[in-house]
Structure 1
Amino acid sequence: MKIARSWFGLTALVVAAGIVVQLVVTAGDTGGLFPSTAARVANVFCYFTILSNLLVGGTSLLLALDPDRKSTVFRTLRLDGVLAIAVTGVVYHVALAGLVELSPAGAVADQLLHTVSPILGVLGWLLFGPHGTLGPRIVWWSLAYPLLWLAFTLVRGAITGFYPYPFLEADELGYPRVALNCVVIAVLFLALAAAAMLLDRRLPRLWSRA
């Protein structure tokens, strides 16, 4: 239990450090679509990466304080955090890494948010759970986060012209292609959630035999 709480605490600390560094870097970057510091800083929280880190970091912090949390809301947020941070790490390293030149501080934030926190978040769930808490209802509820984020991002993009990721740029790709990309993301997230539910039922038995 002590090791688990320490792991969760470390995960939360890494997330906090990565987001703070990213905010400092963004505040000092005068280029881009948003001219004011406040607008640039606020825009940081429109990225799936940042929100996913907040989810996994926030739920990890709560587990570090009290590992016995079992409410439906918490279980949904925990699953969202683990799945979203896994998707963040995979998509970044497969499709997005190297597209933007980073400052030294930006590279630090990049590694913390796209590599270290995904590793800590996923391994933390595999090793320490909590397990045996997921069911179909939690899986379906977990879709709310990515779907709401996609809807918000597309509406905001249509208004401001800003899209956080290339595969959502409706102005260049067109809405049919972006809609297909959104469907793929939703199906991927649902498949991962279902796989996590099945794995969640087996992990307690596997660890008990170890």
Structure 2
Amino acid sequence: MPITHTLNGKTRWLAVLIALAGWSGLLLQWYLLQRAAQTDGRGIGQLLVAYFGYFTILTNLLVCAAVSWPLAAPTSAPGRFFLRPAAIGWVTASIVFVGLAYHLLLRRIWQPQGLHWVANTLLHYVTPGLFVIYSLAMLRGIALRWTAPLWWSGYLVAYFVYALVRGALIGSYPYGFIDVAALGYAVTIRNGCFLLLAFLLLGYVLIGAWRLGSRRS
């Protein structure tokens, strides 16, 4: 699929805001995790395993890459890739899924305070919200294929497999709804299937919204 256009005007400023919010949230979360690790004696290896075990962290890193590459090196291969409509759609579906999953599944069991609240808000609400606006600006007038969410879901499936393998190796799972030790494989896989269906539904809703914008434009 061809490149939409280069960043300019409002889209450039949106990309800058997203990069600032995303990198700030990621760095703050790393600082807080490192500070907590100092009190319980965890080493840098354990810290890295814990940090990169979360879908939230990995997807916010994806978002930061999706705006930072086009800003810093728009003519490079990654810069051109992240300006493609399908890539923007994939990143949008993934980060919106992060925000919705947190709000619906985790918000009531995790009530952060202070800097934890700031990091949590940046990663789960501010960055997803800004990227939705960015996607509307970049994809208006472009109709993505209806098969696109099937390809995008490969990222979620890959993370699910990664989380299960990681959990089997270290005995710890990043989220309670995929905790094999507590739920067993049958329930965990069932939960994974529900999450996959929710992701696909979200992808089609987003494509419908972008197509509606295309008709209105």
What TM-score results when the alignment is normalised by the length of structure 1? 0.85
Q: Does 1:18 align with 2:28?
A: no
Q: Does 1:84 align with 2:94?
A: yes
Name the structure 2 match of 1:46.
53
Q: Which runs of 5+ in 1 are unaligned?
A: none
The letter for the 1-side match of 2:209 is L
Backbone CA RMSD of aligned residues: 2.7
Aligned residue pairs, count? 206
Bigger mean CA offset, 48-57 vs 123-132: 123-132
Name the structure 1 match of 2:3.
none
Name the structure 1 match of 2:5.
none
Spell out, residue by residue over 1:97-152, the C-alpha distance to the aligned partner (whole angstroms, 9 max, x if none): 25245452222111110111111111221233365162145332211100000011
Spell out, residue by residue over 1:63-82, the C-alpha distance to the aligned partner (whole angstroms, 9 max, x if none): 44549x77599544322221
Secondary structure in structure 2 of the residue aligned to 1:174 = helix
The letter for the 2-side match of 1:47 is Y
Of residues 183, 198, 202, the one that matches 1:192 is: 202
Q: Relative to structure 1, is the Cα distance of residues 26 and 157 closer, same or farther in structure 2, using a 3 angstrom cutoff? A: same
Q: Relative to structure 1, is the Cα distance of residues 14 and 72 closer, same or farther in structure 2, using a 3 angstrom cutoff? A: closer
The letter for the 1-side match of 2:48 is V
Q: Relative to structure 1, is the Cα distance of residues 6 and 140 closer, same or farther in structure 2, using a 3 angstrom cutoff? A: same
Q: Does 1:60 align with 2:70?
A: no
The letter for the 1-side match of 2:130 is L
Provide the rounded CA distance (Å) in 2 between the counterparts of 1:33 and 1:77: 40
Provide the rounded CA distance (Å) in 1 between the counterparts of 2:87 and 2:183: 32
Spell out, residue by residue over 1:1-32, the C-alpha distance to the aligned partner (whole angstroms, 9 max, x if none): 40111011111111000000111111111389
Secondary structure in structure 2 of the residue aligned to 1:163 = coil
Name the structure 1 match of 2:14.
7
Q: What percentage of residue pairs aligned between the two structures are identical?
A: 26
Q: CA deviation at 1:48?
A: 0.6
Of residues 76, 82, 94, the one that matches 2:104 is: 94
> Would you say the 8 A contact 1:131–1:204 is kept in 2?
yes
The letter for the 1-side match of 2:59 is S
Of residues 136, 154, 163, the one that matches 1:144 is: 154
Provide the rounded CA distance (Å) in 2 between the counterparts of 1:53 and 1:87: 11
> Would you say the 8 A contact 1:27–1:41 is kept in 2?
no
Provide the rounded CA distance (Å) in 2 between the counterparts of 1:72 and 1:118: 16
Q: CA deviation at 1:172?
A: 0.7
Q: CA deviation at 1:35?
A: 2.0
Name the structure 2 match of 1:128.
138
Q: Relative to structure 1, is the Cα distance of residues 79 and 46 closer, same or farther in structure 2, using a 3 angstrom cutoff? A: farther
Q: Which runs of 5+ in 2 are unaligned?
A: 1-7
The letter for the 2-side match of 1:60 is V
Q: CA deviation at 1:37?
A: 2.9
Secondary structure in structure 2 of the residue aligned to 1:195 = helix
